[in-house]
Amino acid sequence: MGLLLYLTRLPSFLCRLPSRLRRKARRRRLGTMLLLALILLALLLPLIAIYKPPAFLIRYFQRRWPDVLWTVPTTQPVVALTIDDAPSEYTPGIAHLLEENAAHATFFVIGAQVQGRERTLQDLVTQGHELGNHAMHDEASARLGDGELEAQIQTVDKLIANAYAGAGAMLPRRYFRPGSGVFSKRMRALVKKLGFRIVLGSVYPHDAQVGYARVNAWHVLSGVKPGAIVVCHDRRGWTGEMLGIVLPELKRRGYRVVTVSELLRIGGVD
């Protein structure tokens, strides 16, 4: 009787078997896809954090290295604009855009680019902009020995002092931005000894590498908040196009765009 019952149920079991196998196969495929998605996310998260660091990461950096300036705490709608790799053939055009939008910036000077453009630096100072130190060459400052880095900083410091003297203006606080944005404990000690403060930033559109003005403008506009320090680059033709989008929009949102020194003054930060 038991065998007969089994035999009568066998056809229906065999009919259901393919569907069960298909369901198991689907579950395995879904599990595999989920695992691959998690692996991809784990690989992408560090890249996303580098391309567009979240606010909590910037706050951690500021707490971890308080002598390095990343952002300034303030509720006022104001941001500092910093422009690396100045001066260049594009600097006068950038200065014109800033003037049109009642904005000011801190230009970080590469010493090797100054010869023949001394007047450009003087004009920036006359127009109310600020000059910072970006060493002599476009290279990773962290790779330099103490003696070489100190010599480069002091050489650029003299070039900056000449620009202020030529413009009949007093030197502001002295800022240093390391090439490639990488610093070390050794560098921090050296820069402090020389009387400089390292300035990095909180909004970095990677415009030194990314040549798409609208993409870079989106990056800046989606990341700015009160007290932000925006890092852009001279010596690229697309920077002017990007600022032509960013500056009017910031103005429309009610933001003031100022130098690093002015942002520190507004934030009451020493």
| Active site positions, annotated | 84, 233
Q: Which residue has the tokens 């993409």?
A: 215
Contact between 119 and 263 under an 8 Å Cβ cutoff? The reply is no
Q: 70: closest CA among 58, 82, 57?
A: 58
Task: State how far the Cα of 218 lies from the Cα of 190, in Å rounded to an integer.
Answer: 36
Burial class (CB in 10 A: 0-12, 13-18, 19+), 138: middle
Task: State how far the Cα of 69 lies from the Cα of 58, in Å rounded to an integer.
Answer: 10
What's the DSSP call for residue 179? G
Contact between 78 and 231 under an 8 Å Cβ cutoff? The reply is no
Residues 6+ apart with CB under 8 A from 86: 107, 108, 109, 110, 113, 121, 124, 131, 134, 234, 235
Contact between 142 and 157 under an 8 Å Cβ cutoff? The reply is no
Angstrom distances, CA of residue 182 to CA of 4, 191, 252: 80, 13, 34
Q: 207: closest CA among 255, 245, 262, 249?
A: 245
